[in-house]
Amino acid sequence: MSTLRSWSVIVLLACLSAVTLHASPVTADPLNVSHGATYLITIKDAQGAVASRTVITLHGDHTLSAIDSGQGGPAFFFTSQLGAWAPDGPNSAVGRTLDFDLPPTAPGVARLDYMFQFSADNTHVTGSITLRSFQLQDDPLGESDPVGEFTFDGTRVTP
């Protein structure tokens, strides 16, 4: 009986060691945007007034998604944003998203060009957004004059 108990303890310790060793890299990994990151950002207009709040996610596969507090009205009606992002130097990235206008707004597409600057520990982000508007049948990846310029700052969302 004591031999069985000894083996049980050894097996239990081996299993716990394997779990601990496997978990160590994940818990020791510093926050790294390239693996994906979500931020709660406050967007300000050119006069410095708060325009909206957004939850924006830079996914590890370099897709970008955002949901904005102002997208359901009353001033504007548009969908969530989807797009892509890429690193752009140390602690910085660029991104581009598209969204669609919803009724009662006339059908159209908006393109938002993002510039991100991350803090050294990636817990904070600042940057700018350039908004461009296109008719539904036009190419939203083409050239268009900006219809809005915004700045933002935010904090990383962590568990």
Check whether the bond before 103 is cis (ω within 30° of 0).
Answer: no
Are residue 23 and residue 39 in the same domain, yes or no?
no
Q: Does residue 19 have a pLDDT over 50?
A: no
State how far the Cα of 16 lies from the Cα of 66, in Å rounded to an integer.
39
Number of structural domains in the chain:
2
Residue 3 has a pLDDT of 52
Are residue 7 and residue 37 in the same domain, yes or no?
no
Q: Does residue 35 have a pLDDT over 50?
A: yes
Cβ burial, residue 4 (10 Å; 0-12/13-18/19+)? exposed
Are residue 115 and residue 97 in the same domain, yes or no?
yes
Comparing CA positions, the residue from 125, 126, 134, 129 lying closest to residue 149 is: 129
Are residue 76 and residue 139 in the same domain, yes or no?
yes
Are residue 21 and residue 37 in the same domain, yes or no?
no
Please compute the mean of the pLDDT values over residues 62-89 and round it to a whole number.
Answer: 95
CATH code at 87? 2.40.128
Domain encompassing residue 21: 1-30
For the stretch 61-69, contacts whose Cβ atoms lie closer than 8 Å and that sit 24 or more positions apart, written own/partner, are 62/86, 64/95, 64/96, 64/97, 64/114, 65/97, 66/97, 66/112, 68/43
Residue 32 has a pLDDT of 83
Q: Does residue 16 have a pLDDT over 80?
A: no
Please compute the mean of the pLDDT values over residues 117-133 and round it to a whole number.
Answer: 97
Average model confidence (pLDDT) across the chain: 86
